[in-house]
Every structure is written in C-alpha cells, then in structure tokens.
C-alpha cells in the first residue's frame, strides 16, 4: 500500500504562452488536487499559482517534474505525510 502525502506546489509562470500547458497538466491531475489559487502579478509580468494536492509521493513528484519541464515555468513542491488517526 502506497502512503498518501499532502503537498503544496508553487508554480511561477513567466511566459503567458505556457499558461495553457500548465492548465492542461493540472486538469490531468485534477483527481488529486484539493485546491488551487492563482495570483496575477502584473507589475512583474508573472502569475503565481499555488496548488494543494493529496496523492502518493511518486504522483506528486511526477506532477511537479512535468510542470518544471514546461518552458517559462518554475515550480517547487513541499510534501508532508498525512497525519495518522
């Protein structure tokens, strides 16, 4: 049995042309996304997206890695184990 983890993935979109690919990828992982918040930072010509996910560590890493390979995107994730009852 694979242990589920909770993670926050921070995504910095510097190239607006890449935004569609980010949204497509997030849609592909929508079953494990608990919430998402986007912040347009127009003065710096970037958008910031934070995504909270719950999935096994491999799936979280796969999403974060795929995001990081999109040109014009920087992403980082932080994972923690879910609390036990």
Read off the pLDDT of residues 48-75 as tens digits, 9 standing for 90 and up: 999 999 999 999 999 999 999 999 999 9
CATH number at residue 65: 3.30.70.1150
DSSP conformational letter for 69: T
Q: What's the pTM? A: 0.89
Which class for 1: exposed (0-12), middle (13-18), buried (19 or more C-beta within 10 A)? exposed
- What is the model's pLDDT at position 37? 97
* CA 44/CA 51 separation, integer angstroms: 21
Asked, for residue 83, whether it belongs to a domain, the answer is no
Domain that holds residue 41: 4-78
User: Among 5, 54, 67, which residue's Cα sits nearest to residue 75?
Assistant: 67
State how many domains the chain has: 1
Asked, for residue 85, whether it belongs to a domain, the answer is no
Asked, for residue 84, whether it belongs to a domain, the answer is no
Look up residue 81 and give its two tokens. 């184990």
Q: Are 5 and 55 in contact (CB under 8 A)?
A: yes
């Amino acid at each position: 049995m694979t242990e589920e983890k909770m993670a926050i993935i921070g995504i910095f979109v510097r190239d607006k042309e890449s935004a569609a690919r980010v949204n497509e990828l997030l849609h592909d992982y929508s079953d494990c996304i608990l919430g998402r918040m986007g912040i347009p930072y127009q003065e710096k010509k970037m958008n910031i997206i934070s995504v909270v996910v719950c999935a096994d560590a491999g799936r979280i890493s796969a999403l974060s890695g795929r995001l990081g390979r999109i040109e014009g995107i920087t992403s980082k994730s932080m994972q923690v184990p879910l609390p036990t009852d």
